[in-house]
């Protein structure tokens, strides 16, 4: 194990490359594109390069930048999935004042309703569309 002494090793960006490789692999399995195959090779090369790199401060900067991007994207992706799954039963409204997303059960009748934000107490009017 002396070979890996002083090397960067695995970090969050390495695992991000692994996930990206698996996504590209799955797409290439369906599409059979030479461009996707080359993209897979590039991703593997970058992952191995980062794994064996001795420039640890630069690799740490790259991993920190990647972590910042992931931290900002994960809540958005999580809530988007919830919206897609619950689209027929719930309506999602954003508070005008504080920006909190409020999940409200859809009602049978059409019309305008007053919602109160649970965080800031702001009252605002929303339109309800009928369930389909």
pLDDT tens digit string along 18-46? 999 999 999 999 999 999 999 999 999 99
Helix (H) or strand (E) holding 125: strand 123-128
Beta-carbon contacts of residue 82 (< 8 Å; ≥ 6 apart):
none
Q: Which helix (H) or strand (E) holds 94?
A: strand 90-94
**Separation between Cα atoms, residue 62 and residue 88, nearest integer Å:** 41
What is the structure's pLDDT at 90? 82
Choose between 127 and 64: higher pLDDT.
Answer: 64
The whole-number pLDDT of residue 130 equals: 61
3-state secondary structure of 119: coil
Count the alpha carbons within 13 Å of 92 in the hemisphere toward its beta carbon: 13
- Taking only the tens place, the pLDDT of each residue in 76-131 is 777 777 777 777 778 888 888 888 888 888 777 777 888 888 888 888 888 876 65
Q: What is the pTM of this model?
A: 0.57
């Amino acid at each position: 194990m002396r070979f890996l002494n002083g090397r960067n090793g695995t970090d969050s960006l390495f695992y991000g490359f692994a996930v990206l490789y698996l996504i590209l692999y799955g797409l290439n399995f369906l599409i059979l594109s030479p461009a996707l195959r080359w993209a897979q090779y590039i991703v593997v090369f970058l992952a191995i390069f980062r794994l064996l790199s001795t420039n640890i401060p630069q690799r740490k900067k790259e991993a920190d930048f990647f972590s910042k991007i992931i931290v900002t994207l994960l809540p958005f992706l999580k809530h988007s999935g919830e919206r897609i799954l619950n689209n027929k039963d719930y309506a999602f409204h954003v508070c005008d004042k504080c920006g909190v997303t409020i999940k409200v059960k859809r009602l049978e009748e059409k019309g305008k309703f007053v919602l109160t934000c649970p965080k800031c107490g702001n009252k605002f009017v929303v339109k309800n569309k009928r369930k389909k």
